[in-house]
Structure 1
Amino acid sequence: MSLILLLSACGLLAIGMPVAFALGVSTLCAVMLGSDFPLIAMLKQTYEGVDSFPLMAVPFFILAAELMSGGSLTEVLLKFAAQFVGHRRGGLGYTNVVSLTFFSGISGSALADAAGPGSMMIRMMDKAGYDRAYAAALTAATAIVGPIIPPSIIMIIYALQDERVSVGALFVAGFIPGLLIAAGMAAVNWRVSTQRNYRGDEDVATWQDKLQTTWRALPALMLPVIILGGMRAGWFTPTEASVVAVFYALVCGKWIYRTLRWEALPDILSRSSLLTASVLIIIGMSNAFAWVLTVDGLPLTLAEWMAAQQLSAMGFLIAVNIFLLIFGIFIEPLPGVMVLVPILAPVAAKLGIDPIHFAMVVIFNLTLGMITPPVGGLLFVTSNVSKVPLAALTRELKPFLVAHAVILALLTFWPGLSTWAPHALGFQ
């Protein structure tokens, strides 16, 4: 049954079928051709995949991000980032990195970051004389910080697959790796800007202007602090935190920034609903896909095989990294987490690997698949919004991929980068 499942899934993905439908059709083929289970069993597993109270946080965090975007938050964060780094050589590149990092603390989605503030920064960099392909590559490479810095949808899904970690622990664990990714992208921007002589903005903001811009951006920057602080203080659960985020975003957009219009709410709700539906379809189909693998005994077989290899903890992490880098080329992060975490996480736990450390390695690794051709979804979104051919975008992406590989190695060999912050705050 597993053979039918995997072969059909690979074939459907190869011909370009959307991931959710490829997983669903391959599961259907496996159940019909390789088992005696009734088809209703697949429907039951698909429903159970989305029948989860913690999963309610996903649509609310998506709605909060849409409300913040509708409230002109993007412009506020761009001005806030530009005042500190815009005047330096390659200043707009640094502004791109900093603004996307700040926005990731609101959206939780790499695609939203690239399509929203990322598209604005690409146009600004193009007008300022930057190569448009380079601007698009910088945006795509930096946007993957979205699922790393909280709130993160993929972290919520991961915590549902591995009971050894909590959503709060993963949210806190994402801060240092997220900042490390931003620093790596800024380093690449420094090198390229020096080589190509990309100049910064000659106008330097005064301290008075900086204070005014910072004061205006402060309400937006407080959203991740409120979410994490409230969860750590025990005021609300991650699911309740998502509802708090919606109300806070509404207050910011309507009454603090006064740029959110009531007539815009139907469009915001519509976009949020469509994005939520697409995420939940992937989750439901992935759960059915993983169920077939579990019923057929593949996770147990794989775990026994890995145990027989007598790999050390570090050897296992290296093997997982290689496997996930290849796997992530062909499948999106959400279904990757749904399918692989129930298989790999128990093996990692038996080898004594900290579950938080392992979670961050897996999440970052699978997220990298969004910018690796041929399937990288983030590449297609960025190419579309920037009007840059995919081939030109991929060529400019090479130094950023090298920087990401270095950061992945640091996260793999230095567990404290992922575990220090959550352990310091009492998450186990």
Structure 2
Amino acid sequence: MVAFVIILFIVLLVIGVPIALMLGLCSLIPLMVAHKIPAIVVAQKLFNGIDSFPMTAIPFFILAADLMSGGGITNRLMKFSNALLGHLRGGLAHVTVMLSMLFAGISGSALADAAGPGAVMMRIMKEAGYDEDFSGALAAVAAVIGPIIPPSIIMVVYAITEPSVSIAALFIAGIIPGVLIGLALMGCNYVLAVKRNYRFSQSRLSVKEMAVHTWRAIPVLLLPVIIIGGILSGIFTATEAAATATAYALLVGLVTRELKLKQLPKILIQSAVTSSSVLIIVSTASAFAWLITVLRIPQNLASVVAQFSSSTYVFLFVVNILLLIAGTVIDTLPAVLIFLPVLAPVAQQFHVHPLHFAIIFCVNLCIGMVTPPHGPVLFVISSISKVSIERLTKAELPLLLATIVILFLITYIPGLVLILPRLFGLIR
């Protein structure tokens, strides 16, 4: 049965069956062939997969990001980032990374980051004389930070799937890795700016001008503070934080008059479609994860890995390689729901801290969003910029290498991940 499930999964993946349908078929067909478990169990698992109060945080976070985007926050954040970094060598490239880091505190999605701030900065960089393939590659790789710095949709799904870690702990643990990736990209930008003679975007602003841009950005910058602060202080749960973020995003947009009432129907429909697609994938992946558990695939995998090595370092290296490869062909959320039930029990046997493993897992899959042949963020940027996937892939190699260096850094230095959650008393 295990071999049949694996072969079926690979065949459906290769022929291009939509991921949600593929996971549903991989759950249903083996049961129909085996006749050992009633097929109605699959229907029950499909419903149970999304019958969860914390799961409602996903549509709320998606709607909050869409409301903020509709309210013109990208322009405010861009001017604030430009005021801070625009005077440095290769300033616009630094602004692109900074903007992605700030927007990450709002959207929780790499695709939203790429289609919003990424698209804007890519156009501005091109007009300023940056190579179009580098501009697109930087916008794509910087978007990876979106699901790492909280809030993060992938982390919400991870915490619901793996109860040993909380959403709050995951959010806090993602801050340092996200910042490190941003700094690594900025360092790479500086080297390339010197080599290719990219110029400053502007001279250093006066204190008064800095204060003006900072003041205009404060309403936007407060959103991640409200989310994280509210969760840590115990004022509300992650789901309630998402609902609060939605209300705040709507209020800011209307008060600043940058969000028009006539935009709301379009924004609501867009958010509903996005949320529906996410929840359908979560539903079918939950049924598939149940089948994997019933077939004892995690236990069998742990035995196989243990035969090769009992070293935690070797295990983590293998996990990184496996997930980096998986990220090239499978979307982020389905990959969480497919591989987490398999790898998390094995990680526990190798005594890897659950929160440390969670961040390694999430960062790996986020990097997969910019690696071909799948790389959904690459396709978004390619579509917007009209630059081919091949050119974007070639241009992003040094940037991608910088993110992978940070990945292995947080893999083998657990303190980088665990220090903030321990400081806030979220873990021991």
Q: TM-score range by the shorter chain?
A: over 0.9
Offset, 1:308? 4.2
Q: Are 1:415 and 2:411 matched, yes or no?
A: no
1:2 counterpart letter in structure 2: V
Answer whether contact 2:298 2:345 (CA < 8 A) is retained: no
Structure 1 residue 224: Cα displacement: 1.0
What SS class does the counterpart of residue 328 from structure 2 fall into? helix
Matched, 1:127 2:130: no
Structure 1 unmatched ranges of 5 or more: none
1:157 correspondence with 2:154: no
- Which residue in the other structure is 2:365 paired with? 366
Query: Do the aligned residues in 1 keep the contact of 2:292 with 2:342 (CA within 8 Å)?
Result: no
**How far does residue 35 in structure 1 lie from its aligned partner after superposition?**
4.1
Q: Is the 8 A contact 2:87 2:204 kept in 1?
A: yes
Q: Matches of 1:75 and 1:168 in 2, distance apart? A: 29
Amino acid at match of 1:334: L
Cα contact 2:181–2:406 (8 A) shared by 1? yes
Q: Which deviates further from its counterpart, 222-231 or 167-176?
A: 222-231
Q: How far apart, in 2, do the equivalents of 1:90 and 1:219 lie?
A: 28
TM-superposed CA distance for 1:287, in Å, is 0.8
- Tell me the distance in 1 between the aligned counterparts of 2:309 and 2:88: 51
Tell me how far apart the structure 2 counterparts of residues 183 and 161 of structure 1 sit (CA, whole Å): 31
Moved more, 65-74 or 192-201: 192-201
**Cα RMSD (Å) of the superposition?**
1.4
Tell me: CA distance 1:408–1:263, structure 2 relative to 1, closer, same or farther (3 Å): same
Does residue 85 of the first structure (1) align with residue 85 of the second (2)?
Answer: yes
Report the secondary structure of 1:11's partner residue.
helix
Counterparts in 2 of 1:35 and 1:80: CA distance versus 1, 3 Å: farther
| Match of residue 6 from structure 1 | 6
| 1:144 equivalent in alignment to 2:144 | yes
Q: Which residue of structure 2 lines up, in the alignment, with residue 167 of structure 1? A: 167
CA distance, structure 2, for counterparts of residue 381 and residue 201 of structure 1:
26
Distance 1:377 1:193, change over 3 A: same
Sequence identity (%)? 46
Q: How does 1:325-340 map to 2 (within 5 A)?
A: 325-340=324-339
Alpha-carbon displacement from aligned partner over 1:72-95 (angstroms, at most 9, x marks no partner) = 001000000011111222111111
Post-superposition CA distance 1:56-76 (Å, at most 9, x none): 100001010011111100100
Say whether the 8 Å CA contact 1:78–1:95 is kept in structure 2: yes
CA contact (8 A) 1:4 1:29 kept: no
- Confirm or deny: 8 A CA contact 1:4 1:34 kept in the other structure: no
- Give the aligned length: 427
Task: Report if aligned partners of 1:45, 1:287 keep a CA contact under 8 Å in 2.
Answer: yes
Equivalent residue letter for 1:383: S
Contact in 1 for aligned 2:298/2:346 (Cα 8 Å): no
User: Is the CA contact (8 Å cut-off) linking 2:299 and 2:345 kept in structure 1?
Assistant: no
Summarize deviations over 1:144-168 as a string: whole Å, max 9, x none.
1111000001111111122221000
User: For residues 161 and 347 of structure 1, what CA distance do their matches in structure 2 show?
Assistant: 15
- Report the 3-state secondary structure (helix = DSSP H, G, I; strand = E; otherwise coil) of the residue aligned with 1:373: coil
- Give the Cα–Cα distance (whole angstroms) in 2 for the partners of residues 391 and 316 of structure 1: 32
Q: TM-score, normalised by structure 1?
A: 0.97
Q: What does the per-residue CA deviation read over 1:102-122, in whole Å, with 9 as the maximum and x for residues that have no partner?
A: 001000000000001111111
Tell me whether 197-206 or 282-291 shows the greater mean CA deviation: 197-206
Q: Tell me the residue number matched to 1:102.
A: 102
Matches of 2:280 and 2:176, distance apart in 1: 31
